[in-house]
Structure formats: C-alpha cells, structure tokens
Amino acid sequence: MSLDIEKCKIKFLTNQEMLECLTHFSYEYSKKQFILKDLRPLNDNDNILLTEPVIFSCFSNRFGSSDMGEKAINKFKDEHECSHLCHQFNLGKLK
C-alpha cells in the first residue's frame, strides 16, 4: 500500500484557496494582462471540474461583455491575500 502525498496535500486545501491561487497565477502567467476569475468548482469523485470561467483583461471588453477590465483586476489585487499555495508557486506580491 502506498500513500499518494500529492493527493493528500490537495485534500487539505479548500477549493477557495486553490481558486484564489489560480487567479493570482493567471495574472502572473499573462504578464499582468488578465485574470481568470469566477470559476465554480464541481466535485466529481476525486476530480474537481472548474466551470463558468470569466476573464478580466486590461483591455476593455476583449473577452466579451463579462470582461470587467482593469477595474476588476485592481479589485482582485486589493482584496487577495496570498496563501501558502501562492508562496509555494513563488507568485509575486500584488500589493
């Protein structure tokens, strides 16, 4: 019998922590041009399906009418508190 350490680590994280970290990651990965937000996690056995993504970009309406632009990006930056997960991925500070 073996222990899947990575799987155990995931189970200790809340969905919210993972989603917040993913949003922060999307900001860094896009070179600070957009964020991936408003994902809804659906648990499916051991898998998590992410649905209903919205992209907020620094260009007005680039990703459709749900793209609330730079104002939404700045709101995320102001409200986000990095978790240990953000630190594990060496994500930069937002403030």
Work out how close the CB of 29 gets to Zn ion at its nearest, in angstroms, rounded to a whole number: 13
- Residue 24 or 37: the one with the smaller Cβ distance to Zn ion is 24
Q: Letter for the amino acid at 18?
A: M
- 37 touches Zn ion (CB under 5 A): no
DSSP string, 41-62: EEEETTEEEEE--EEEESSTTT
Part in contact with Zn ion (CB under 5 A); list of ranges 10-18, 38-46, 50-58, 77-85:
77-85
Positive or negative, the CA dihedral 30, 32, 33, 36 is: positive
Site membership for Zn ion, residue 86 (CB under 5 A):
yes
Rank residues 50 and 82 by Cβ distance to Zn ion and give the closer one. Answer: 82
